[in-house]
Chains A and B, each alone.
Chain A
Amino acid sequence: MVGLVGRLWNLQYKSIVKEASGKTLAVAKFFCVLHVTNTYLCTFALAYGPSMVPTFNLTGDMYLAERLSIKFGKVGPGDVVLLRSPESPRKVMVKRLLGLESHSITYVVDPMKSDRCDTIVVPKGHVWVEGDNIYNSRDSRQFGPVPYGLLEGKVFCKVTTFLSLAHLMLNFDAVNCTSSLSQPKNKRRQSLYNFNCYIWIAEQSRKAQSSWIKIEMDERQCKTYIWPPKEFGSLMKSGMKDPDL
């Protein structure tokens, strides 16, 4: 009697274990495929910060970056690239590629203070990257040419997803902004806020009087700063920077 109950219980247990392991294996296989696609084909990236204004928003945008062109060496000046920071190995940053190896780059050393330019020849195996917002960007002008092996992807498309909105909510702490993410009643007013924000930042940068802290404080006035979906689309090479500069 006990033996029969024991065998029945074993049978039930075995089938549960078998089903659980089968389902786990299926999930593991799915994640493997997702991971391989992420590493070798195409990946999402969330970029925030002031260094690529106005191409990318201050508070964060989500992009698709593909990895194949890096592996085949088909990047050129003018491309927006994802690269691992040479100063902080755990950080990945987004900048615009301005020069490949043996290109001669002329750059403005410190646009906040003076108009002094400097020219450098990019050494072998390295690239020169700069942010579009040269007034507030930590790039090759500070840490020098970056080895090509640090490039991780080439950004080709901006996307709107609910995910990016969620990240936007989280990143409000990063910019010290206390506004809520409520939808404005008037969508036109919302995009006007964004537009005004961009113009304000650009103007302040040009006047060379702004600092990162000041931008943060005035962000609070842009209460409904929601990234507009109408900017969906591929990023053209002809961005803000003249690659031949």
Chain B
Amino acid sequence: MTVIQVFHYEQRMSVTLQCPGYPEDTLRSLADRLPCRETQLKSLLSLMGQPDQYSYPSFFIYGHRATGKSHVVLSVMKDLELPHASVDCVECVSSGLLFHQVLSAFFGPDAAALLPRCPSLSDFVRLYKQMSSNSPATQTRYIILDRAERMRDMDFSLLPALLRLQELVNDNVTVILLSEIVWEKFRPNTGCFEPLLFHFPDYSKVELVQILSWDHHPSYTPELYASYINILLGVFFSVCRDLRELRHLAALNFSKFCEPLEKGEAKESDIHKLWKNIEPHLQRAMQTVYLREVSSVQWEQQQMDEKEATTLRVLSAHAHIELPYYSKFLLIAAYLASFNPARTDRRFFLKSHGKIRKTNFLKKHEKTSNHLLGPKPFPLDRLMAIFYSVVDSRVAPTASIFSQISSLVTLQLLSQVGHDDQLDSPKYKCSVSLDFILAISRTVGFDVVKYLYDFL
């Protein structure tokens, strides 16, 4: 019950936001809509200053996924009706798209159409200046760049230029960068204008309860829903703090939670009974639907008809792959070539190899487990040599054998290393796990462990 008390207390408190230049009742409703982000909201507003004043040229807001960065910023923009351009950097496959979106948000699509075919930064600045001289900003214009970490992959001059865009275009414009990673990872080598850093901390458990309790079901009391959220967090909090995920899970499992109530087996106050009912169910959800082994629709269907629970197969259950006979051996040969040092081939694949002791045979660095080091590249010739010695019948080097290698590459069971020159003895790596290769070799009756240097 303590949580609920806290919840009530905070609601009553209802932070009084006052910022000159903005209508007070909008601010109040804004604060109500953004629970647990009052302090962030307050400092953001004070940083922005009054709408007609020049604001700081650039902010950098960072925090984990689903900590309300874009939500807070965008609701501020929308509710206070500030001119803004919101751009998701994932979408901007070229910087031209970014310019296009910004210009069309501020000056309409006609302005954006003036951009040349592959606009450069200076084109953008020129056009912006031209447009803003026609319609100078009465309020601060905001450019919000979501997932700003993608900007680092774009033109190297773009980020430093955007950070001081205000200077460049001589207009009341502020760039807000939103990112999940810290500013230190952005800073270019040549140095740049430092934006104001602003952190959104993770929600605490109490805050999560408070936020999740917001979307309670209309036909049940908020108290019941809050206790349900408490149970849910008890299971999931250790693995997942992503608010979006948690909301999704809460919505998915609530009907199951209410089942005893519907059937009349329990009353709302009977928390313990409800807990007993839902707890194993949630555990199962954590192993399946949370990992997306089972789609949410399937999960809901499963709740409807409990009997078919056993027939539902999860994604990773179909792990085995059917391959042609020789492809299996090629894969095994590739695995052996990847995880055995080339010097040991003689020991494994020659009939009269003599005894070679593991300890004094190899150099020091080869003594560490090859499985810890990961697969090593090997040339095609070595693969074929091992293949011919592992496969139990005589195989002609037909074209289809070689084409199987390339189809293994397309299936990403092998990966080609280095350049694409097929003539120059191509090199490959085997990219499957030990378990996988064990399963494959079992189907062809081949004891792969006997040939692995690590297990000698």
Q: Judge: A and B partners, yes or no.
A: no
